[in-house]
Structure 1
Amino acid sequence: MNAPTPSTPPDGMPVYRVLTGPDDATFCHRVSEMLALGYELYGGPAVTSNGGHVIVAQALLWPSAAQGARAAGS
């Protein structure tokens, strides 16, 4: 049984985060760490290239904020 998610992120982290970086294992691990903390993906990833390097971005939202965003959109 999972413990309930706290209403605020740990360690004073922001409710909304955007991670960016090269499309590599390190970026995937960073996103995975945020998911393990309790963040939820907010939309799909954005992908672009910068001189031959692929750069990705992924927005994440803390669940209590995500619930509010979904309620506001209905």
Structure 2
Amino acid sequence: MDKVSVFQKDDSLDVPVCYCFGWTRERLIQAVREHQLPTDHIQEQIQANRCGCEVNNPQGACCLGNVTAFIRTLDKI
């Protein structure tokens, strides 16, 4: 089994915040700079039953809260 970097334990920009859809800190920062809403994309995927957070996310729960919280920190920069 390959080790996966854990968002809460690794501050790197390339660590996933959303494990199902490949949203890293770096990708989220870029999307926000381009006035995109990554949370909308993630919510669409969840509604289409394409989410596998229970398996993909080391927390074993939906990562949308982590994504939202990280984006909020960008507003303070």
TM-score range, shorter chain: under 0.3
Structure with higher helix content: 2
Structure with higher strand content: 1
**TM-score if structure 2 supplies the norm length?**
0.25
Q: Which one has more relative contact order, counting CA pairs under 8 Å at least 6 apart?
A: 1
**TM-score if structure 1 supplies the norm length?**
0.26
Q: Which has the larger radius of gyration?
A: 1
